[in-house]
């Protein structure tokens, strides 16, 4: 009886710890005021590691090939920040902390699978609910957007009640594009870590539709990528009616919301600041010398002023900032994904980091990269015994 009670308590703590860590990592908040600081990033990383540490202690650790390759990539970045183009020591520590946090989440997603899937599902549903409530209040009641982000974090979010003739919602996130990027990544992680079920299917559907509610440029990218990922992962289980319902919902939204006209006005008839800044960032890199391209432009600062270099995508940032050293390490992860999941699935998966606007060091994107480099069979495969065929090795129990 005592073991049953202990197991239930452990499961409940695991769910709450995972939910807390995922909330901190997938809800980036900003320090308000004239002097911005990286303190919230350090706080989120430290708090996440403290919450997850007991989960790693309570169950045996498994060493998987994807985790090894991710560690090599993070160490390549650290090597670059120390020897090639040094950055402040605390920034290197933040990179290491996020890498360790990603490893802890990856291990927990196996050791505490149901709790991890439950926490990710709840966080997605909460975000979807908040953005739906925000939209309903705007269109039906107040005709102004209620700022849930300010209510939680004290700083204003960057939604828009009328941005080129359309409202842009952000839910509890700081801005619409942030919602699309972070919830898109979390949805992909859920798809990779959960076995197929009706609950997971409808959770993913609601998450995809909520991403569309942001009316951001990023939503138009991530929605088809996520639909393609769902269709490929669950091709033997998902019904055609499911895809038809989702397709009709997306088509109806595109037709009635005016988002297509908004995007046409934004990107083709106006000088969109976000897009133009990304083009400036790519141009700044292309004008670098061959030596700069070989060794990387560095992780400490952007090669251009106010060009939003990170917005070009995680992949571009890692490759251009880290040069050949980091690129070679990342190629190992890509090769691993292709080897275990095939070229088609690997290509769909790596469309996520290609346009993901997270900072290059953040734990969520490294968690996704590890899951993308893990063998998938319609959902997460269970942990396997020693010397498993897909490159996973369980730590041998200690003697005595």
Residue 393 lies in a domain: no
Neighbouring residues of 147: CB distance < 8 A, sequence distance ≥ 6: 156, 157, 159
Most confident of the ranges 30-34, 112-116, 252-256: 112-116
The residue assigned the tokens 């990342």 is 330
283 within domain boundaries: yes
**Confidence (pLDDT) at 389:** 40
- Is 384 domain-assigned? no
Predicted confidence at residue 379, as pLDDT, reads 45
pLDDT at 140 over 80: yes
Share of the chain above pLDDT 70, in %: 84
Confidence category of residue 8, pLDDT binned at 50, 70, 90: confident
pLDDT band at 392 (very low <50, low <70, confident <90, very high): very low
Structural domain of residue 215, as residue ranges? 2-27+38-124+184-378
What number is the average pLDDT over the span 325-343? 95
How far apart CA 171 and CA 136 sit, in angstroms, is 12
Per-residue confidence band for 317, with pLDDT thresholds at 50, 70 and 90: very high
- Residues 16-34 have a mean pLDDT of 83
Q: How confident is the model at residue 377 (pLDDT cuts 50, 70, 90)?
A: low
Q: What is the mean pLDDT of residues 122-139?
A: 93
Residue 390 lies in a domain: no
pLDDT for residue 272:
61
Tokens describing residue 17: 């710890």
Asked if residues 124 and 187 have their Cβ atoms less than 8 Å apart, the reply is yes
pLDDT on residue 145:
85
pTM of the model: 0.87
Can you give the pLDDT at residue 398? 30
So what's the pLDDT on residue 216? Answer: 83
Domain-embedded: residue 14: yes
Domain assignment present for residue 367? The answer is yes
In a domain, 160, yes or no: no
Decide: 392 and 62 in contact? Cβ < 8 Å: yes
How many distinct structural domains can be found in the chain? 1
Mean pLDDT of 364-378: 88
Q: Which pLDDT tens digit goes with each residue over 146-198?
A: 888 888 887 788 776 666 667 888 889 988 989 999 999 999 999 999 988 88
Give 217-251 pLDDT, tens digit per residue. Answer: 888 889 999 999 998 998 887 777 777 787 787 77
Average pLDDT over the chain, rounded to an integer: 84
Q: Please report, for residues 122, 212, 251, 335, the alpha-carbon distance to residue 56 in angstroms, rounded to integers and kept in the order given.
A: 22, 36, 44, 28
Q: What was the pLDDT predicted at 400?
A: 30
Question: What pLDDT score does 31 carry?
Answer: 58
Is 133 domain-assigned? no
Helices (H), the chain: 2-26, 39-58, 65-79, 89-111, 113-136, 148-153, 176-193, 198-213, 217-233, 240-257, 259-264, 273-286, 290-295, 314-349, 351-355, 363-372
């Amino acid at each position: 009886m005592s073991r049953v009670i202990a197991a239930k308590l452990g499961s409940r703590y695991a769910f709450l710890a995972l939910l807390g860590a995922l909330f901190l990592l997938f809800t980036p908040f900003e320090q308000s005021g004239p002097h911005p600081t990286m303190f919230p990033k350090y706080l989120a990383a430290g708090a996440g590691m403290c919450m997850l540490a007991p989960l790693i202690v309570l169950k045996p650790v498994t060493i998987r090939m994807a985790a090894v390759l991710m560690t090599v990539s993070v160490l390549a970045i650290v090597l670059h920040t120390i020897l090639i183009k040094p950055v402040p020591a605390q920034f290197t520590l933040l990179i290491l902390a996020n890498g360790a946090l990603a490893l802890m989440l990856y291990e927990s997603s196996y050791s505490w699978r149901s709790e991890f899937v439950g926490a990710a599902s709840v966080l997605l549903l909460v975000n979807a609910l908040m953005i739906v409530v925000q939209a309903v209040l705007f269109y039906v009641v107040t005709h102004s957007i209620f700022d849930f982000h300010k209510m939680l974090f004290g700083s204003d979010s960057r939604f828009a009640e009328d941005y080129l003739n359309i409202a842009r919602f952000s839910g509890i996130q700081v801005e619409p594009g942030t919602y699309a990027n972070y919830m898109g990544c979390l949805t992909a992680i859920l798809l990779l870590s959960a076995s197929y079920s009706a609950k997971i299917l409808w959770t993913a559907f609601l998450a995809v539709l909520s991403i569309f509610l942001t009316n951001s440029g990023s939503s138009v990218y991530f929605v088809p990528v996520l639909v393609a990922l769902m269709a490929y992962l669950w091709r033997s289980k998902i019904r055609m009616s499911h895809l038809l319902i989702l397709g009709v919902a997306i088509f109806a939204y595109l037709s009635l919301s005016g988002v297509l006209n908004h995007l046409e006005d934004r990107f083709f008839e106006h000088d969109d600041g976000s897009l133009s800044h990304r083009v400036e960032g790519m141009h700044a890199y292309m004008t670098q010398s061959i030596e700069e391209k070989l060794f990387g432009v560095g992780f400490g600062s952007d090669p251009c002023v106010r060009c939003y270099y990170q917005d070009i995508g995680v992949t571009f940032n890692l490759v251009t900032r880290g040069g050949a050293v980091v690129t070679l390490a990342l190629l190992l992860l890509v090769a691993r994904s292709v080897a275990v999941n095939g070229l088609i699935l690997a290509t769909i998966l790596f469309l996520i980091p290609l346009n993901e606007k997270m900072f290059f060091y953040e734990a969520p994107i490294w968690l996704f990269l590890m899951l993308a480099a893990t063998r998938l069979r319609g959902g997460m495969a269970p942990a396997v015994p020693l010397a498993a065929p897909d490159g996973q090795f369980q730590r041998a129990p200690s003697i005595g």
